[in-house]
């Protein structure tokens, strides 16, 4: 079986696909990926063939000011950016790739509407992998009209309630209880868990018996953060914990000057090497960062900036998983107090562990293999 994995974004859209791809490869199937050109080296580093497709959606190094959270703006970015502008370009490239590479099955991230249109147009089965934790951003009332415009351009009839994405098989790595109850999982959904590596050799920054905090803005939002790193670092100076901070490959950590001994600053460190040693996280609330924290049972403080992060913040607050700050208004003292609270309060940790146990009870990625094989049969 030849399986083409497709994604329409950065690491947060690619990483949830990876364990499924590895499980299929281990079962003897032929695997390739296709995504934005900027992601090609990252996919190759993971050990898979990859073809560039569609436009680059991530930053190529330019810095941007920090903007207040604006949900209407984020809705427009998804509807007009991911659907009206990106989906047609991805459909064109993925269609050409399918005609050349001839897959039997497509596995698409839930934002890759262009690839799903190609699958339908060619009569190929496809599976959808969820990449947004709360499920409240990619919603029918927001994207349906724009999506039907793209479908019509490809000679496909209109659809309702995202039936194109959900018709065959939906795979979700997120705890079902985290999802916004207004947008329940479709009947075709199956949950799986992404394996969590154990502790490797202790990092040089780790101090036995002292709490550890990890601060990250993921891979996309670092260059859109304005003065946020400076404010966070000022707040962490007064936190009684080892603080590991990553600023991304496009920012030079030395621009923030010398740091106290308990703050360890780096461009990039693998999340899997950090989280097993952590007691809490401070993040923008991206779904990938959030899932990593949940998988390790870690409470969190969030500074949502855009995309699906405000929706994830809503659920973090509603479930008692942590605390959420305003990314513009938060002072160093606010950040210090929020981090200290999630490190100290047992109720946050209890919720985090409950969600961790919920995810850990899901089947491993290997169990998705027969489900995917059945789509082709």
> CB neighbours (10 Å) of residue 153?
12
CATH code of the domain made up of 2-193+362-376: 3.40.50.2000
d(CA 144, CA 154): 15
pLDDT recorded at residue 223: 83
> Cβ(276)–Cβ(199) under 8 Å?
yes
Give the residue from 183, 194, 150 showing the smallest Cα distance to 294. Answer: 194
The number of C-alpha atoms within 13 Å of 235 and in the hemisphere containing its C-beta is 22
Mean pLDDT, consecutive 10-residue stretches, the chain (377 aa), reads 95 95 98 96 96 82 86 95 95 97 98 97 97 96 96 95 93 98 96 91 94 92 89 97 94 93 94 95 96 97 96 98 98 98 97 98 98 96
pLDDT recorded at residue 63: 81
d(CA 79, CA 256): 36
pLDDT recorded at residue 59: 56
Residues of the chain with CATH 3.40.50.2000: 2-193+362-376, 212-360
pLDDT recorded at residue 212: 98
pLDDT recorded at residue 57: 79
Task: Tell the residue number behind the tokens 């990938």, with chain if given.
Answer: 288
Beta strands 126-129 and 169-172 are parallel
212-360 to CATH, choices 1.10.4160.10, 3.40.50.2000, 1.10.10.10, 3.20.20.70: 3.40.50.2000
User: Per-residue DSSP letters for 177-228?
Assistant: GGS-TTSPPPTTEEE---------SPPTT--TTS-EEEEE-TTTGGGG-TTH
d(CA 15, CA 46): 10
pLDDT recorded at residue 58: 66
Tokens describing residue 25: 């490869």
Task: Tell me how far apart the terminal alpha carbons of the chain are, to the nearest angstrom.
Answer: 10
Supply angle C-alpha 317, 137, 159, rounded to 5: 145
């Amino acid at each position: 079986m030849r399986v083409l994995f497709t994604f329409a974004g950065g690491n947060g859209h690619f990483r949830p696909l990876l364990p499924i791809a590895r499980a299929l490869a281990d079962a003897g199937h032929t695997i390739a990926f296709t995504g934005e050109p900027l992601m090609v080296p990252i996919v190759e580093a993971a050990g898979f063939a990859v073809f560039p497709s569609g436009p680059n959606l991530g930053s190529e190094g330019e810095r941007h000011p920090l903007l207040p959270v604006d949900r209407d703006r984020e809705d427009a970015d998804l509807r007009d950016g991911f659907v009206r502008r990106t989906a047609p370009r991805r459909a064109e490239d993925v269609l050409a790739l399918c005609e050349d590479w001839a897959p039997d099955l497509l596995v698409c991230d839930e934002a890759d509407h262009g690839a799903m249109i190609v699958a339908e147009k060619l009569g190929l089965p496809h599976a959808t992998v969820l990449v947004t934790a709360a499920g409240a951003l990619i919603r029918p009332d927001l994207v349906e009209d724009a999506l039907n415009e793209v479908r019509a351009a490809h000679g496909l009839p209109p659809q309702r309630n995202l039936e194109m994405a959900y018709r065959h098989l939906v795979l979700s790595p997120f705890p079902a209880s985290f999802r916004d109850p207004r947008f329940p999982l479709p009947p075709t959904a199956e949950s799986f868990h992404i394996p969590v590596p154990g502790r490797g050799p202790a990092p040089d920054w780790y101090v036995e018996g002292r709490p550890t905090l990890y601060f990250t803005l993921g891979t996309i939002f670092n260059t859109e953060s304005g003065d946020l790193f400076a404010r966070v670092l000022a707040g962490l100076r007064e936190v009684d914990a080892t603080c590991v901070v990553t600023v991304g490959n496009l920012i030079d950590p030395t621009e923030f000057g010398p740091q106290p001994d308990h703050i360890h600053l780096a461009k990039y460190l693998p999340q899997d090497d950090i989280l097993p040693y952590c007691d809490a996280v401070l993040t923008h609330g991206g779904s990938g960062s959030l899932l990593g924290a949940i998988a390790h049972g870690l409470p969190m403080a969030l500074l949502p900036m855009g995309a699906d992060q405000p929706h994830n913040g809503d659920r973090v607050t509603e479930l008692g998983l942590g605390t959420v700050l305003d990314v513009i208004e938060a002072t160093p003292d606010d950040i210090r107090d929020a981090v200290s609270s999630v490190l100290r309060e047992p109720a946050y940790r209890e919720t985090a562990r409950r969600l961790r146990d919920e995810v850990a009870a899901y089947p491993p990625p290997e169990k998705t293999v027969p489900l995917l094989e059945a789509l082709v049969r």
